[in-house]
Chain A
Amino acid sequence: EVQLVESGGVVAQPGGSLRLTCAASGFNFDEYTLHWVRQAPGKGLEWVSLISWDGGSFEYGDSVKGRVTISRDSSKKSLFLQLSGLRIEDTAVYYCARDALKWSYNGYYLDVWGKGTMVLVSS
């Protein structure tokens, strides 16, 4: 079964940092670009970041640019998101999602999603 499982959701203070992990299984991890998408409580979806299948290309959304690093580890079949300088508005469920097309660099639509991990930024 194709699966993405996020972890690392925390309660953090403004100005702090966090690292989210997404464990992949059931597909060839090295063939797919992966994305992070977040959703603030009661709000819509916000695309956050992507990293290409080979780790050589990445993109970030404007709201997190300069504070975020996306990475992946092929040996662990895992995707990571490091976010620093946390703000109240970073409070959200963070989803890991798979790009639908193999070997893409620019990212396309998202065909597999994890269940998400909750990040709460509060003082």
Chain B
Amino acid sequence: EIVLTQSPGTLSLSPGERATLSCRASQIISRNQLAWYQQKPGQAPRLLIYGASNRATGIPDRFSGDGSGTDFTLTINRLEPEDFAVFYCQQYGASPKTFGQGTRVDIQ
């Protein structure tokens, strides 16, 4: 199984700052089949990015994804108050599908 390791565990930032989240895979993820999700307390996850760099429908362009192979990054430019949440990466290039353990982005 592909293990995804996200870092940092928690990121404390202020609105307007940039957040950079990392997701590292234990094996190469084929065809960059990596997605990012945002989850707020008490809510289901929401798809942000798929194919490593493609924004899902309705996702603001301050969210961007990058990377290939085993190293992937989610960047949130100019954090808005509603962006503070937990973010998960997920690989779907191999079975079983796996998620990272999450990165919490807190308001500093």
Q: Do A and B come from one complex?
A: yes
Range for the number of chain A residues in contact with chain B:
20 to 34
A7 CB to nearest B CB, Å: 15
**Cβ contact within 8 Å between A114 and B44:** yes
A27 CB to nearest B CB, Å: 14
Residue from B43, B57, B90, B96 in contact with A59 in the complex, judged by beta carbons closer than 8 Å: B96
CB-CB nearest in chain A for B54: A109
Most chain B CB inside 10 Å of its own CB: which residue of A44, A45, A106, A107: A45
**Cβ contact within 8 Å between A109 and B95:** no
A71 CB to nearest B CB, Å: 18
With contacts A47-B90, A47-B98, A60-B96 taken as known, whether A116 is within 8 angstroms of B44 at the C-beta atoms is yes
A-B contact count (CB 8 A): 62
B82 at the interface (CB under 8 A from A): no
Interface of A is mostly: strand
A67 at the interface (CB under 8 A from B): no
Which residues in B have some Cβ–Cβ distance to A below 8 Å?
1, 33, 35, 37, 39, 43-47, 50, 56-57, 88, 90, 92, 95-102
Which residues in A have some Cβ–Cβ distance to B below 8 Å?
35, 37, 44-47, 50, 59-62, 95, 100, 106-111, 113-116
